[in-house]
Amino acid sequence: MIRMSRRVSVRRAVFVLVAMGAVAAPVAAGQMELAVMQGTVKDDAGKPLEGVTFRMKDLGRGRETTIKSDKDGKFYRRGLQAVEYELVVEKEGYQSINDKIKLTAGTDRRLDFKLVKAAPEGAGDFAKGVEAYNRGDHAAAAQAFEAAVQKAPDLPEVRVNLALAYFRLQRTADAVAQLEKAAALAPDSPRVLFQLGGAYVEMQALDKAAAAFEKGLAKPSDAGDPLVLEAMTTLGAVYFAKGENDKAVAQFDKALAAKPDNAAAKLGLGKVYFSKGDVSKALELFQQVVASAPGTPEAAQAETFIKELKKPEGIS
């Protein structure tokens, strides 16, 4: 009986092992079907993008898997079925990528993506506005920019361009209103502030013009940038128009330090010295303008001043 019992036990043990093998085999086979997908996602400037969504749809079963990129733009997912997937890579504000990928069992699939910023709402209208403006149809440009503003009210660039079209149509007040809104949307943009300052000059709102230029020039910028140089010179002219001669001199000197052959700054500085009664210094500056920038509007103004200063009642 003992021997029989042992035989039964052995048989049962063999049966259990066989049964366990039968169960384990499919699991092992299932594990062999799994794959890994990893990689990085960056913007068009090469900077990592966090929070990018990867939606993977199993084309055979219809199941969907979602992966997110981390702060370094990296993504990783293991345990994926080794099948073909429909892949969508997306992040708000960027053009999505739609593709198909096939994962292989036991293989790490590495993918690197680059997402390009999506065109904002109103981009088509904006392009039409630019085209119309460039061909001189400012009414059509304003209409197109107005449509773009309706679709993208928070983009300061659209409002700046609408303001430029309004200026061409002699709608100065409307232009200023658009630039004020643009400056509110982009308070740290020197270029928007310079545009606003120029608009205030057109309206003879000199205090507001000075404030806008001062704020824009206080921001970090390249003194060699033509727009920055123009703003520096214009601010000097605004100070002069306000009767603040010392400020005007200091501002024109800054402009000339950035660009020694700045004819507009020299002309403005000459006007200030003439106003202060330093005729000799004024004449010297006017003559420099004529010599360094012949044929320019600045040279023409300087020649007029020189003729007046050299009249008998002036200086010899």
Tell me which residues of the chain have a pLDDT lower than 50: 1-32, 315-316
Please count the CA atoms within 13 angstroms of the CA of 50 that sit on its side-chain side: 3
Cα Rg of the chain (Å, integer): 36
Phi and psi (nearest 5°) for 162?
Answer: -65, -40
Q: Provide the total of helices (H) and of strands (E) in the chain, helices listed first.
A: 12, 7
pLDDT at 232: 95
Return d(Cα 29, Cα 22) in angstroms, integer.
11
E strand segments, the chain:
34-43, 53-58, 64-68, 74-81, 84-90, 97-102, 108-115
pLDDT at 206: 96
Question: Would you identify the CATH topology of the domain 123-221?
Answer: 1.25.40
CATH number of this structure's domain 34-115, picked from the four choices 2.30.29.30, 2.60.40.1120, 2.60.40.10, 1.10.10.2840: 2.60.40.1120
- Residues whose CB falls within 8 Å of the CB of residue 312, separated by 6 or more in sequence, listed in order: none
0.85 exceeded by pTM: no
pLDDT by residue (tens digit) across 233-252? 999 999 999 999 999 999 99
pLDDT at 18: 33
Return d(Cα 187, Cα 83) in angstroms, integer.
51
pLDDT by residue (tens digit) across 272-307? 999 999 999 999 999 999 999 999 999 999 999 999
pLDDT at 44: 81
